[in-house]
Amino acid sequence: MDDRTTNDRGDHMAGVTRAFVTHRNLLFTVAYELLGSAADAEDVLQETWLRWVGVDHDTVRDQRAYLVRIATRQALAQLRALGRRRESYVGPWLPEPLLTAPDVAEDVELADSVSMAMLLVLETLTPTERAVFVLREVFDLAYEEIAAAVDKTPAAVRQIAHRARAHVAARRPRAAASAADNHRTVEAFQRAVETGDLQGLLDVLAPDVVLLTDGGGVVRAALAPVVGAEQVARVLGRISAMMSLRPTQVNGAPALIVRQGDEIDTVLALRVDDGLVTGLYAVRNPEKLSHLERGTTLSR
């Protein structure tokens, strides 16, 4: 093999790698929105890379669309397998929380699409509906590109998109509050929890607030949704005075990281509407807390 052939192969691999790295954050975001799990999304990225290396790149006209197609197919296979596992999950299942930078919250559409509330709505779709909705509504892919990713005709994809859009619209959370309103509400909420101020909690919780706790059968957690301000306030009142609460951004929305000593005990994501907390998502399953020591970059 002469040096020129070696150099050509080296240049080819460099180009292949560069294309993957360029779109890596996008591919992770697609996989995460389909799976609700950072660990499973990382597995999808590995499979996507292995398949991308083996592609005849001379036939690839749009690298972004082609990579998204590979990632979507891998994520769909994972999603169908995960659906069977989630049927036997102990208690409520919540997405794996991601520590996100402020710029995710500033991208309103991206923040909404990765919020705990929206990911739970997406869980109610079939795998194909979820993929079509995410690729069309969040990432604005053409119907032809989506059709190639989900092995359907463009006409079928249009029908699936219409059906999924109507399904999500009927269950979609209201528009999120402004950053300033969120900050004031979360600050009041944190102060009330830290001081054990029951009335302060009742003042900041919506009457129909819902608390979901995910312990995965590994740690203690409520096995059913806790509904109503008084019931939720009583549960929150059990947070030990020995625990520390730190405000942060999780999935583009306000959250509190609850620590006991040096260990993360719970991630408590908040949904705020009209100055009141309407949804609380408490992730306690230790297997879902590994991505909270470092930020995750999401991209559209």
Count CB atoms within 10 A of the CB of residue 182.
20
pLDDT for 181: 73
Q: Enter the pTM of the model.
A: 0.90
Label residue 235 exposed, middle or buried (CB < 10 Å: 0-12, 13-18, 19+): middle
β-pair partners for 100? 296
pLDDT for 5: 55
Label residue 291 exposed, middle or buried (CB < 10 Å: 0-12, 13-18, 19+): buried
Average pLDDT of the chain, as a whole number: 90
Flag residues of the chain having pLDDT under 50. Answer: 1, 4
Calpha distance 7→106 (Å, rounded): 43
pLDDT for 193: 94
pLDDT for 200: 94
Strand order in the sheet with 253-260: 226-227, 205-214, 276-283, 263-273, 253-260, 243-250
β-pair partners for 250? 99, 253
Count CB atoms within 10 A of the CB of residue 36.
25
CB 60 within 8 A of CB 16: no
- Based on DSSP, count helices (H) and strands (E) in the chain, helices before strands: 12, 6
Secondary structure, 3-state, 185-230: HHHHHHHHHHHCCHHHHHHHEEEEEEEEEECCCCCCCCCCCEECHH
